[in-house]
Amino acid sequence: MGKPVVASKIGGIPEAVIDGVNGLTVELGDVKNLSKSIHSLLVDREKAQRMGREGKRIYEEKFSAKIMTENIQALYATAIRRKRL
C-alpha cells in the first residue's frame, strides 16, 4: 500500500519492517515509544512517504504473492529431492 509501518519487534515482523527504512519498530508493550513513533510519522510526511515507498519496494522484492509462491515451490522441490535420496 506504500504506507510506513509502526510495529512491535516480535516474531517475523523485524524481517518485514526494517527500523528506519520502511517503518519503525518498538519493543512489545512500549506504549511511550509506540506513540512517539506514530507521532514522528504524522509530523514528518516526507519521512513517512519515503518509508512507504521503500516498504512497497521491499514487499514486492521479498513478500509479493509471486515471490512467496516461488519460494514455496522451491521448498517443495527441495523436500521432494531429499525424499528421493
Cα distance between residue 85 and residue 77, in whole Å: 13
Contact 55, 23 (CB under 8 A): yes
Give me the number of domains the chain comprises. Answer: 1
Contact 73, 26 (CB under 8 A): no
The whole domain housing 21 covers: 5-84
Q: What is the pLDDT along the chain (85 residues), one digit of tens a residue?
A: 899 999 999 999 999 999 999 999 999 999 999 999 999 999 999 999 999 999 999 999 998 999 999 999 999 999 999 988 7
| pLDDT of 12 | 92
| pLDDT of 84 | 85
Residue 14 belongs to a domain with what CATH number?
A: 3.40.50.2000
